[in-house]
Amino acid sequence: MLTRRQVLRLGRGFLAGLGAIAPACAFRQQHKLAAFESLYHAPLASNLQAFGMDRPDALKDYAAARNLLYGAAANPHGLSDPVFTAAFLRECAILVPENELKWQSIRPSPTQFDFSQADRLLEVAQRHHLLMRGHTLVWDQALPDWFDEAVDRQNAEQVMTAHIAAVASHFAGQLHSWDVVNEAIAVPYSQRSDGLHPSPWLELLGESYIETAFYAAAEADPQAMLVYNDRWLDYDTPRDNAQREAVLNLLEKLISKGVPVHALGIQAHLMGHETRFNADRLRTFLRDVASLGLKILITELDVTDRDLPADVAIRDSIVATAYETYLNVVLEEPAVVAVLTWGLSDRYTWLSSYEPRPDGLSVRPLPLDEAMNRKLVWTAIARAFEQANR
């Protein structure tokens, strides 16, 4: 364990190292990252290079050695690229379809189901002995165009449970886990004391839609791990602190009622420029979740570099260190069973369109670059797995 003084000294060493790439002062002024010297990113990246990327083991091997699963989200676009597919099969033990199990993808009309894309991904996964996750059965986004017209208070419960029954039984026994309910809580957008996100499901069915969804999923696929998946659980900010409290309250309520929820999915869409990270707070939250008897999965890990400096070496260092710092805390918790990144290569990431850089440069949030070469992020994840004491 490093003392605070050692951490600060290492941080200064890291900044001095950056001087070779760009003057640290100019960098801080320009990007208003004055907190950089003491921020959690600084100490670690300086020696990440030494760990190396040219290793025979893949991320899934480092993870497996610590009894963890490593995998990533992918979509048919990425998996039609043979170079990406080869990299995916090398690094990953579990695949999550990025969009192909959402209502928008599988419900062309109120009476139809189209599993063709998801079935193809399952076929790829099974052929290559990968596990597959299901994402997601109930979410207020990615609903089909017909939804608002066709669903009302009278039929909402039947529509939701029939959807879950059909989809979860189609894949029954073949998926590692299901994100049964996604993003039910959004404290900043909620007028309610429980922080529930205003959504069609909440409006039409009330808060019981969450437990109804879990019971329906358990009935349709008794073998899958049933996950409540949510975001904004990572930082020491008013938003994330409130979100953690609301999620914990929800989970406590579900468990006390005997609802079949087995795990919390923490999305972990991190931000490279965010300095408000508090390891103790995150640790305590993970412990509280685990003490309910729940497993924990990191389901959508990535680190946006939108607001970081243009210089690739600096950017990669900050992003990689954000990964490692986060994982070092998360992997201490024995209830954590899996780490999935939301994509594997910078060539295929939602952040290119959702959080593009203002300077137009390509974003670099993931373990592999656009040419499928390992980056410092890969090293950071591999080293976090290797050093995990579990």
x-or-dash string of contact with ligand 9MR, 277-316, rule CB under 6 A: -----------------------x----------------
Q: Whole-angstrom Cα distance, residue 86 to residue 283?
A: 35
* Contacts with ligand 9MR, 67-106, as mask; x by CB under 6 A: -------------------------------xx--x----
Nearer to ligand 9MR, 142 or 310 (CB): 142
In whole angstroms, the minimum distance from the beta carbon of 150 to ligand 9MR comes to 20
CB of 102 or CB of 383, closer to ligand 9MR: 102
Least distance between ligand 9MR and beta carbon 227 (Å): 12
Q: Which tokens in the block code for residue 351? A: 């952040």
CB 352, min distance to ligand 9MR, A: 10
DSSP per-residue string spanning 190-234: --STT-BPP-HHHHHH-TTHHHHHHHHHHHH-TTSEEEEEES--S
Q: Is 140 strand, coil or helix?
A: coil
Judge whether 309 and 22 are in contact, CB under 8 Å: yes
Closest separation in Å from C-beta 175 to ligand 9MR: 16
Question: By C-beta, is 42 or 339 nearer to ligand 9MR?
Answer: 339
Query: What's the one-letter identity of residue 198?
Result: P
Shortest distance (Å) from residue 5 CB to ligand 9MR: 39
Question: In the complex with ligand 9MR, which residue's Cβ is closer, 179 or 221?
Answer: 179
Determine, following the binding rule CB under 6 A, whether residue 189 of this chain makes contact with ligand 9MR: no
For the CB of residue 301, give the shortest distance to ligand 9MR in the complex, in Å.
11
Q: Tell me how far, at minimum, the Cβ of 141 lies from ligand 9MR, in Å.
A: 6
Q: At its nearest, how many Å lie between ligand 9MR and the CB of residue 182?
A: 6
Q: State which of positions 249-278 bind ligand 9MR (CB under 6 A).
A: 267
Residues in the chain: 390
Q: How near is the Cβ of 262 to ligand 9MR at its closest, in Å?
A: 19
Residue closer to ligand 9MR, measured from CB, 300 or 316: 300
The answer to whether 323 and 381 have CB atoms below 8 angstroms apart is: yes
Backbone angles phi, psi at 294, to 5 degrees: -95, 145
Q: How far apart are CA 176 and CA 225, in angstroms?
A: 6
Please measure the distance between the N-terminal and C-terminal CA atoms of the chain and give it in whole angstroms.
16
Q: What is the sign of the dihedral through the CA atoms of 162, 165, 169 and 172?
A: positive
1, two tokens: 């364990």
Burial class (CB in 10 A: 0-12, 13-18, 19+), 236: middle
As a whole number of Å, the CA-based R_g of the chain is 21
Give me the residue whose beta carbon is nearest to ligand 9MR: 350
By beta-carbon proximity to ligand 9MR, the closer residue of 317 and 341 is 341
Which of 65/142 has CB closer to ligand 9MR?
142
Residues 138-157, one symbol each (x = binds ligand 9MR by CB under 6 A, - = not), give ---xx---------------
Q: Which of 348, 350, 378, 385 binds ligand 9MR (CB under 6 A)?
A: 350
Distance of CA 36 to the CA centre of its chain: 25
Would you give the DSSP letter of residue 357? -
Nearest of 65, 1, 68, 60 to residue 335 by alpha carbon: 68
Task: Please give the structure tokens belonging to residue 380.
Answer: 């950071």
Count of residues in contact with ligand 9MR, rule CB under 6 A:
9
Binding residues for ligand 9MR, per CB under 6 A? 98-99, 102, 141-142, 182, 267, 300, 350
